Amino acid sequence: MNWNRIEGNWKQLKGNVREQWGRLTDNDIDVIAGKHEQLVGRLQEAYGMARDEAERQIDEWAERAIRQIH
């Protein structure tokens, strides 16, 4: 997966992130700024999920997000 595409289109994808993970605040989303590791950490904090689960959810979301920005 080309995470650079997500980072480069982060402003466009913010709404999708809010829909997917409603517990993330606007501040969280601004801090994440399209960075994979930041998103993993914020999901772990907000949802109390293990890193593996956060990675799985992010991968599924990212596949859909990349299709949307094509």
pLDDT tens column, 6-39? 999 999 999 999 999 999 999 999 999 999 999 9
- Could you tell me the domains of the chain? 3-69 (1.10.1470.10)
User: Of 2 and 36, which is predicted with more confidence?
Assistant: 36
Q: How far apart are CA 54 and CA 47, in angstroms?
A: 9
Residue with tokens 């517990």: 23
C-alpha separations of 54 from 37, 42, 70 in Å? 10, 9, 24
Quote the pLDDT of residue 1. Answer: 61
